[in-house]
Amino acid sequence: MEHDGTSVQEMTSRSQGMAGRLCANEQAIVRCLKLLTYLSGTFPVPASLLAADLGVTERTVRRDVALLRSAGYPVLATADGYVRDERRKADLLRVLGLGL
């Protein structure tokens, strides 16, 4: 096996950086699952409350909501906060494979 001049220390540092990114992705998944729980109610939940409960910034909450939307979960932003968009419930059921 050829050596490309990369030191063991550099390779270790790279792999630790990759592990850190994986942990960040896992944290985002956990936050998104918690967001789904919060949004399962009928009343809007303010981003400030979500951020405080999740221990992140409101910007992170907005990013996580964007991730949920891109995955097909119907989340509506209102003046009072985020809520599940009942108008798109059929879309959600289709995404989950439960559509009629």
| Rg (the chain; Cα; Å) | 19
Query: Is residue 100 domain-resident?
Result: no
Report the pLDDT value the prediction gives residue 81, as an integer from 0 to 100.
96
pLDDT tens, per residue, the chain with 100 residues: 444 555 545 544 554 554 455 577 888 899 999 999 999 888 999 999 999 999 999 999 999 999 999 988 889 999 999 998 877 666 666 666 765 5
Query: Is residue 4 domain-resident?
Result: no
Residue 22 belongs to domain with CATH number: 1.10.10.10
Amino acid at the residue 76: L
Tokens of 13: 């540092």
The count of structural domains within the chain is 1
Domain hosting 43: range is 9-95
pTM across the whole model:
0.65
Report the pLDDT value the prediction gives residue 46, as an integer from 0 to 100.
97
Tokens of 56: 């992140």
**Of 15, 83, 87, which Cα lies nearest the Cα of 50?**
83
Q: Measuring CA to CA, how many Å separate 24 from each of 2, 14, 27, 47? A: 33, 15, 5, 20
Query: Is residue 35 domain-resident?
Result: yes
Angle, vertex CA 93, rays to CA 22 and CA 49, nearest 5? 55
